[in-house]
Structure 1
Amino acid sequence: MSKAGASDHGFNPRLIAAVVAIGVVAFVALWALIALGPQLSNGNDGGGHALSKSAPGYAGIVDLSERAGADVSLWRSVTGEGYEDYEWLLVLTPTHRTKASEIAEILDARGGDKALVVLPKWATGRLPGQDVKPGWVGTGFPVTPDGDLLPTGHFGEVTVEAATTKPQRIAAEVAGQRFALDLPADVQTVEGPQLETLIAGPKGGAVLARLEDRDLYILADPDLINNLAFASREKAAGAAMLIDAVAEDAAIDALAFDVTLNGFGGQRSLLRFAFVPPFIGITLCLIAAGLLALWQAWMRFGPALRPQRAIPISKAALIANSADLIKQARRELDGADAYVTSQRSAIARRLHAPAGLDAQETDAWIDKHMRPGGELFSALARRLPLARNRHEFLADAQALHAIRKDLLRDS
């Protein structure tokens, strides 16, 4: 088979490596986005929260407060992210689906802070086939929230009502500050036995109320400070004066807009901890270790090793295995007589010794063919079987082998 045919029908290693690498990166990125998605989102989704630039959002008042020199923060956690030496006014913007227990959890977690709860009013959506810009809302209609939205343990029994009125301009005074306020049509108001009215509604109730024994405020109608209030200069000025008056009444140092009630919080979870300091270092080490393990499994250090036979096939292997067996049995010295006999027979056969000679006569005949001055074959033949240890046996055996090489001229 040609190389072209093999490559056409086989796997391309580079392609498979690229697929695996892309899969690993996509997997890690997916879990990172799941864990950090709420915090990484810009929040411009058309909702009623501080990140939204749509009509029911509060990005306008946040930007105006910052431009006016106020310290403004967006909190993405229940416990908050502010400085402990600051007095904060926590602005909560719940939705119609928010539970009273969620508001109570935030207020309890930030027990030392003061809070302004802005009640929801608008239900927004998009009509079928309607083309709307990103961050905008297609349509909306007012929906009066239930008083059960507010936790009774903090605000008591609260009733929310919508008065059928026309837009009107009223005079308001909070914390000694007087300003004009433009009330929208169908303005929402609240009433409750534990609430103190700061700005009254046109038909009773309170547009802005405060708890009698705590600095907890309720703004019944969000149109007074949301982006709808920035339709004109007068309404925007009224929204800024309203926030400033509440801050003056609560004697706070900074504003904090909560976005956890709107789904942009960084809740505690093991998955999120894996991608934030200080655990991000451990996550990166685990990812690096996994990539190194994958690389080691992919790359081989040399060709693949083939399994070897337990006993190799050759005369040398047979001799080596026999020698190892004798060594393990510690029977080396028992083979001295056999070794002498094999050497004697090999020399006599190759030198054509006379027939009928016994062992001693054969040794004497071999001695005659040796060079003068060396140790005789007969002496070594008598001494080798009497060896007392391996060293003596090895020395005499090597001497016999040297005589054989010298006489027969072989190895």
Structure 2
Amino acid sequence: MAAETSPNPFARGAVLLMFAIGFAAFIALLYALGAGGALRSANNGQAHGASSSLVGYSALAHLLEKTGTRVSYGRNPAALSQQDLLIVTPQLGSDPEELQAMVEQRAFTGPTIIILPKWQVTPLQGLEQGWVQLESPYLALQAPQILSRLVTAKTRLEGVDNRFASMLFEQPENADQKKAMLKQALKSRVTISGDRLTTVLADSRTGAARVALIQDGGWYPSLDPDAPDEAPQAPGVQQGRYPVVIVADADLMNNLGLANRKTAELALNIIDSAWSGGGEGVVFDLTQNGLGASENLLSVAFRPPFVGAVASLVLAAIAFAWMAFFRFGPPLSEERPFGFGKSALVKGSAGLVRRLGREHLIGPAYADLLRDRAARALGLPPSLPVDEIDARLALVPADESGRSYDALLNDMRSARDRPAIAAAARALHGWKKERMG
């Protein structure tokens, strides 16, 4: 059975919109699979650069951006191998060996600042995401274990009254005791000491180091006041090495501390001193805080230099889809073997007559049909003989072309091929409609 064009069930715009939405969703899925954990919200209340909690460092990131510094967040090893200044905010449970490997890898790549943890916090449920409550600064005394593979160090809490010192590490019995403990904790300052540490920022009261520099054989005149103005040529000095700065007191750079203008200025000065000829930006490491993203082929595909090839493939796919959409029109469907309604019945009967080769029999039958209809239109009795009916119909005036009923009837009966039958039937039907309605 021949095929025919069926009506399109969807408008062209609707099909294009569905295709565009599906294609965009597919690309978004590929990107999400490649990005992995990079799409997760990092504002989880912990102490890292993307956290807006009291112990986070998002204020420092915003402050650096306001000064024109390019700020980014490192979630994979590739982001940590840049020449920019790297700010590492390890947790108490971070692996010292991983931290050592990171620092040694960057020894001749760029400067590094390690901010030790200080505060133990608990999340505040039912409030803004990432909000926490300060509990105790006891993490500061355990923080040196993170540096165990880099340097032997010890931290100390300064500025705390002796009678409250033990309370900082005990569970308060009531709200008043907790309030007094927190008040003392907010006054505390953390200092660090060690054999291979040089003081960068000293505590104003005790003289101990709140910020220190690891002595690793490099030349850092911006951080070490005892360093010579010119690079020494001694065999033990490693030219081109970048510094590793340890910030023992996190309140010098976290959101809690940067609420103070002087502390914010001090934080910028520390970063400027630590830059030491590094890159022009700052990278906040998130891998030490459980927010890293592993490398895979999809993640590489969405980064230079492969992103250009991916974009070209996407455009080519869109072009092929566009060509296919306009080349093949609406869908084709097979013609029904048996249609519905009077027109389908007439069409089927005509096809059957044509296939059987009986078209020449249509003329006389149609002539008899038109005679009966004309007789009913004139109100002639059904019992009237055929000859009498023809005689009375012959009295009806001819059509506009001058052909009478007898002539039209003879043409209809004598027609044998399809064009002649169609022309005679059209003329006879026109005469009947014109004279009798």
TM-score, normalized by length of structure 1?
A: 0.51
2:196 equivalent to 1:194: yes
Q: Distance in 2 between matches of 1:127 and 1:42?
A: 17
Within 5 A, what are the aligned runs for 1:6-405?
Answer: 25-36=24-35, 43-68=42-67, 71-76=69-74, 77-80=76-79, 88-112=84-108, 113-128=110-125, 130-132=126-128, 134=129, 136-142=130-136, 143-144=138-139, 145-150=142-147, 152=149, 155-163=150-158, 165=160, 184-200=186-202, 206-214=209-217, 215-244=243-272, 246-247=273-274, 250=276, 254=280, 256-261=282-287, 262=289, 267-284=294-311
Distance 1:83 1:123, change over 3 A: closer
- What's the CA shift for 1:196? 2.6
Letter matched to residue 101 of structure 2: E
SS at match of 1:64: helix
1:296-340 deviations in Å (ceiling 9; x for gaps): 79x97898899xxxxxxxxxxxxxxxxxxxxxxxxxxxxxxxxxx
The answer to whether the 8 A contact 1:229-1:239 is kept is no
Deviation at 1:115, TM superposition (A): 1.8
Aligned partner of 1:95: which letter?
Q
String of CA shifts for 1:98-151, please: whole Å, max 9, x gaps. Answer: 3223323332332212222111223444334x322x4x4132333414433225
Q: CA RMSD in A?
A: 4.6
What SS does structure 2 have at the residue aligned with 1:227? coil
Q: Pick closer, same or farther for the CA change 1:22–1:300 going to 2, 3 Å.
A: same
Q: Note if contact 2:87-2:285 (Cα within 8 Å) is conserved in structure 1.
A: no
Which letter does structure 2 place at the counterpart of 1:102? E
Amino acid at match of 2:56: G
Structure 2 vs 1, CA of residues 120 and 294 (structure 1 numbering), >3 Å: closer, same or farther?
A: farther
Distance in structure 1 (CA, Å) of the matches to 2:66 and 2:18? 50
Deviation string, structure 1 residues 212-239 (Cα, Å, up to 9, x no partner): 2343221111101212123233333333
Change (3 A) 1:16 1:124: farther
**1:12 offset after TM fit, Å?**
9.1
Task: Quote the offset at 1:75 in angstroms.
Answer: 4.8
Whether contact under 8 Å (1:184, 1:223) holds in the other structure is no
Partner secondary structure for residue 141 of structure 1: strand
**Structure 1 residues 284 and 189: CA distance shift in structure 2, 3 A:** same
- Equivalent residue of 1:208, what SS? strand
- Give the Å deviation of 1:56: 1.7
Distance (whole Å) between structure 1 residues aligned to residue 152 and residue 81 of structure 2: 31
C-alpha contact 1:72 1:254 (8 A) present in aligned 2: yes
Distance 1:99 1:235, change over 3 A: same
Shift of 1:203: 6.7
Identify the range of structure 1 (281-290 vs 92-101) with the bigger mean alpha-carbon deviation. 281-290
CA shift in 2, pair 1:22/1:55, >3 Å:
same
d(CA) in 1 for partners of 2:279 and 2:70?
A: 10
- The percentage of aligned residue pairs carrying the same residue is 26
Alpha-carbon distance in 2 for matches of 1:80, 1:279? 17
Q: What is the rounded CA distance, in whole Å, between the counterparts of 1:45 and 1:227 in structure 2?
A: 14
Quote the Cα distance in structure 2 between the aligned partners of 1:302 and 1:66: 55
- Displacement, 1:53? 3.3
Q: Computing the radius of gyration over CA atoms, which structure comes out larger, 1 or 2?
A: 1
Change in 2 beyond 3 A, CA 1:197/1:79:
same
Q: 1:72 to 1:102 in 2, by over 3 A?
A: farther
CA distance in 2, matches of 1:28, 1:271: 11
Residues 305, 164 of structure 1: alpha-carbon distance in 2 compared, 3 angstrom cutoff? same
| CA distance in 1 between partners of 2:294 and 2:284 (Å) | 13
- Is the contact made by 1:53 and 1:59 (CA closer than 8 Å) also made in structure 2? yes
Displacement of 1:269 in angstroms is 1.8
5+ residue gaps, structure 2, are: 1-8, 162-184, 218-242, 335-437
Which amino acid is the alignment partner of residue 221 of structure 1? D
Q: 1:51–1:58: 8 Å Cα contact kept in structure 2?
A: yes
Unaligned runs of 5+ in 1: 1-10, 167-182, 307-411
**Secondary structure of the corresponding residue to residue 245 of structure 2:** strand
Which moves more between the two structures, 11-20 or 57-66?
11-20
TM-score norm. by structure 2 comes to 0.48
- Which amino acid counterpart does residue 55 of structure 1 have in structure 2? L
Which 10-residue stretch deviates more, 110-119 or 36-45?
36-45
